[in-house]
Structure 1
Amino acid sequence: MCYHTSLNIKQPALEARYGAKVEAGKTWEPMIHANAYSAPALPIISAQQPEIITFSQWGLIPHWVKTGPDARKLRAMTINARSETAFEKPSFRSAAQSGKRCLIPVSGFFEWHTEKKKKYPFYIQPAEAEMVSIAGLWDEWADPDTGEVFMTYTMLTRSANKLMARIHNGKERMPCLLTREQEADYLRESLKQEEVLELLSAPYPSEGLKAYSISRLITSRKEPTNVPEVLQPHHYPELSDLESLIADLGAHEAES
C-alpha cells in the first residue's frame, strides 16, 4: 500500500499541468515528502470541480461518521482503498457510488522492498514527466462539535505491474496511476461503475516509471523528512541484483 508521496512541484507548474487554478485564498509550496499518517492537506482535482485545485486531507472520513474520535480513528485506516472493492466497502462505498472521484497529483511516491526480513525504501517517479496522477475518492465530513467541514480523500490501489511487483514484493500492490488520456475519463461524471472498474484495472506500463533506492532518512522520527536529502539515491550492496533488474525491466518493456 502507499502511505508516502512527493509533490515537489511549484504552484504555476501544477496549475499549468492540470489547466486549473488553486482555490481562492490558498497557495501551494512544493512538498518533498508527505506522510499520510500526518493527515497532510494536499492538492486534488475533483470530478465535480475540475477547474479548481482544492486541498484535501489524506485519509478519507465518510460523511456519515458521527463523532470526532471515530473520525480520527477511521482516517488512519482509509489512507488507501483497494480499487477492486471500493464500491463495496462501507468506508468507501458512498463516495464511489456517488461519483466523488478525484485526481491526486504526485511527482513520485515511496515504497519498501523486503529482503531477508529487512525493508529498503525506494522512490518511484514518472520516467518522462514532472507529475503523474493517482486515482482517488473524496468526501466531506462536518465535525458535529465545531461545525467545521473537512474535505478528505483516499488513494486507490491495484495489483502491481512488473516493476512494482519487484520493488513492493511484500504486498505486490501499487497506486492506480493514470495516463493523461485516462485522467479525463476518470473525471467524467457520467462514468458508470463498470467503466470505473475497467479503467482502474488497466495496467500502467513499467516503462512509464523509474525507481531507485534511497536512504532510511525517510523513516526518521528525529530528523525532518520533508527535505531534499530524502530523494538522494542511496546504494545498498545487498540490492545490486535488484537494482540491475529494475533498470533492465523498464528498458526491455519499453522495447517490447
Structure 2
Amino acid sequence: MRAQDRWPAAGHNVFCLREDPAAGAAEPGEELERVAVLAMQRRGVRMSVVLDRNRYKRCDFLFLRRPYKERPNETYEQVFWQTQTSMVQRRPKVAPAALRAGGAGMRVVIDSAERYPWRFPDSTTERARLPAGDYALVRDGEVLAVVERKTFDNLLADFGVMPLLHQRLLELSANRFNALVVEAAYEDFLNPRRVHHFNPSFCAAAIAELYAAHPDLRVVFCANRKTANAWTSSFFRAVLNQFTSAESSDLRTP
C-alpha cells in the first residue's frame, strides 16, 4: 500500500494506492517507519488496524469500488486511510446497518424443545433440533450464529450442576458468533430474596466462573424476556450484515 502521508492529519483522510505486482515494477517508495501490528479486523469494506505503540496507533482503511463515469460497467478501487479522530469528527448521521436492515432476509431455526419461543418478526422461522443453543441464524444451510436462552430460574438451577452447564457452554462457544442470553439482570442474582437457597456470593462466583472458563463466550444479561428477544434479534441481524456486506463489497483481500 502506498500512502500520501505517514499518518492522517486530524479531520482528514489519506488517499492510498494498493501495490499491484501484476502491473509491473513501480518506482520504489521510501520506507519512513516500520511498526508491528497488534490487532487487525476486516468488516466488509472497512479494515481496522491497531499498531503496537503508545501514540498514533488506531486507524481504519476504507476500501471502495467506484464505477467509471465513461464506463459504468467497470469499476476502480479507492482506498482511504482514516484515524480515530477523523472518524469521530465525520460521524455519520445514520443508523447502523444492522438496524436499517430490519429482519428481512433472516432465517432463524428455533430448537424444537423450546416451549414458548421468542418471536422474530419479518424473519423466516422453523423448528428443528439444534446440536447447541436454542436459536440459530442459518443461511444456505450454514449456521452463522447461535444463542442459548436462559430464564432467571433456568440459570439459577444450572448453578447446582455446573459441570453439565460447562459442557453445554463449551459446545456453544465452539461457534464463532455465540451468546448466552439471560432474561434477568445481573443484580437479580445478588438479591437474597430472589436466589432462594443459594447465597448471593455463590451466585456471583458462579457467574464469574462462566466468564473465566469460557473466554470466547458472550454472556449477556437482559432485564426481561422482551429485552432478551430484542437483543438476540439485533445480534442476528448484525451477524448477517457482516457476512452480506463482506460479500457485496467485491474487493480483493488486502
Q: TM-score range by the shorter chain?
A: under 0.3
TM-score where L is the length of structure 2? 0.21
Greater RCO (CA < 8 Å, at least 6 residues apart): 1
The structure with the greater share of residues assigned to strand is 1
User: Rg larger in 1 or in 2?
Assistant: 2
